[in-house]
Each structure stands twice: as structure tokens, then as C-alpha cells.
A = this chain, B = another copy of it.
């Protein structure tokens, strides 16, 4: 159901020939019909943030967003002043077509783009697409699916979520497959709710949820210039949610979408969950898990169904002692439940590890405390190289 599951939202996805694929839906519109227009956002920390990121960060600063326009087929990143004007013109066009009895201002509109870095968009196609998208807005399930399809690039399937709260709903969509690294958010994500929540509460809930979800996945260690996560509240349910339940729902929505990104990571054949237990602090556990998740050699081994624990501990050994305290001799490693490494040496023979399933669980115990953290990644495959050597993105 995607973004239209929550009441008060309509959406559409249209083809407007932005991308080289003339068949593919490539422009999505998500409109918040109210009564509220509360919004929160989390953006990439990349210093070369794209024009739409710069635009949307300003637009959302006052806590109000009435609509989001998203395109695939071009990132509008590293495009200078001309790129900034394209994002502004796109927002102005959406504001214009949505204005009726009530005037909608350009800074009520968030803009998201994804695709090749370094080239301007074909703006006439984008503006024509906005007209087309506005004329097909709908609150049906299909409209939500169309929107989530229009933002796909190397994604092989739309990624959506719907969750039922106590008297209110949460829906969402995300795109992301490559250029995924855990330094704020992921590619493009819009989450909607019909709960009655103000912008300040949304921002707090979203920041916490992204930290524990999108910031804990890593397809290829490469951070995007366009990462954007938006959370919009329409208040259409009339229900003010119990804060803890609401925070849990937003977390669950983000976690589901993050997991779907890993499940559709470029060329991947295994989802790899790396959990570090027994750390002095959560930060120490996270640093270790992220280091292991970044090992190309490990990711290749998992692709080859090889439970190569040597590539796990050799990567763990690169984490400085002042970042994560542990004694190498005390560390244990389990792969899919088999203790393949203990006392800094071989444990149960690794031939005992079953590697057929898509999910591979790597559990590291530092035996140096009680804190833990998990990071998800994908294996590194021929198909990943193929996609990224031949696809211009």
C-alpha cells in the first residue's frame, strides 16, 4: 500500500522520459491532504549534497510540507547554481498545480532526485511530468505502488511498508540498492502517517528511528549525495498516538524498509547480519560491526558460501583499541550458530556451517562488556561489479 495506506494522502507515479528507459515510471508525487501538514526530515551528511537535498532541507525547516515530488533518472547532484534552480522550479511547479482555494507555496514542497550524479535534469520533462502526476493523484493502493515504482533505479522491486497502530496508520516507501552506507539515512524514503503529531515530535522520532535502521545498513560503503528520509503526518485519523507506541511504529517502518534495501542490494545473493555482543559500549560494538560489514574479502567469501572467519577477525583487528576494547584471545565468532573461532583460533570446523540460506548470521562476542549492536550488509558478487561497471549512475 505504500504511502497511501495512511489516510489523508494521495500519490501517483508517471512516465515522463527523464531516464533513458522510455517505459519506466520515473516521477512520483505524494500529497498530504491534511488537515495537518507536519513534517520531519533526515538528510545525507555528504558535503557534496545534491540540489534537491539543499532545497528540501530549507523547505522542511519550518516543520511544514504539503507534498513531495521525486524523480529517478537523474540525481541533480554536483550541478551548481543551475541545479539549485531546477529544484526550485520543480517545487514552484508543484505548488502551482496544487494551489486551489488555498495557495500552496514553493517552500511547502520537498524535492527528491536519484540517478546519475553530475548532470542537469531535462527540466521540461520534469515539469510536464508534474502536470501528469497531479492529474492522476489517487489514494488507492495502486497509486502508492506506482509512486514507489517511479523512484526505483537499480532496485529490482518496489519497497513499501504498512503498519496499523491504535486508531492510526503508518505507510512508507523507499528506493535504494547501491551507494548505500550507514552515515545518515539511505537513498529516498517517504513515510506517511494519519496520526495527530506535530513536527517537533516527528523529528525526534524519525532521528532515533533512522539511527537504528537506515544507519545500520551498508551495501557497499559508498554514501550518496541525495539521501533523504521524510516523515509526513496528515492527522486524518484524528487520533493522537501514545508516544512510545508511535515511536515504535516509526522505528518498525524504517527497519522494515532498511531490511528490504539489503534484501535487494545490488547483485547480492546473501543478506549478512553482523552482531557484535559483549562490548563495553554500544558505540564500540557498532564500530566493530561496521568494520566487518565493510570487508570486501569477507563479502566475496560469503558470495562463495565460504564461512571464512579469518576474514572476520582480521577485519576486527583493524579497529583501534581506543575505539573498541577487547582481548583478541577472548573473542568468539559464530557463523549461522556454529562457533568457528574461539581463543583466537579455530573452533568447530567451518565445514559444519550451512550456507545455503539467503541470510547469514555472524555473531561476534568480544567478551568485554554487555553492550551490543547489529549491522546488515550484502555479499559482493559478479553482478554487483557488472551493474556498477556498466551502469552510469
Contact = CB atoms under 8 A, between A and B. Distances in A.
B78 A310 contact: yes
B296 A221 contact: yes
A198 to B, nearest CB: 32
Interface in A11-52: 45-49
A84 to B, nearest CB: 10
A388 B77 contact: no
Interface string A369-393: 0000000000011101111111010
A116 B310 contact: yes
B388 A49 contact: no
Interface in A78-114: 78-80, 82-83
Copies held by the complex: 2
Nearest to A79: B345
Interface string A241-280: 0000000000000000000000000000000000000000
Interface centre among A78, A183, A316 (most CB of B within 10 A): A78
Q: How large is the interface on A (under 10, 10 to 19, 20 to 34, 35 or more residues)?
A: 35 or more
A306 interface: yes
Interface of A: 45-49, 75, 77-80, 82-83, 116-119, 178-179, 181, 183, 220-225, 294-297, 300-301, 303-304, 306, 308-311, 313-319, 321, 328-329, 341, 343-346, 380-382, 384-390, 392
Given A47-B318, A300-B389, 18 more contacts: A46-B314, A46-B317, A47-B316, A48-B314, A48-B316, A78-B310, A80-B345, A117-B311, A221-B296, A222-B295, A222-B314, A223-B314, A223-B317, A296-B296, A300-B388, A381-B389, A382-B382, A382-B386
16 contacts: A46-B318, A47-B318, A49-B317, A78-B309, A80-B329, A80-B343, A80-B344, A118-B309, A118-B341, A119-B346, A179-B297, A225-B317, A381-B385, A381-B389, A382-B382, A385-B385
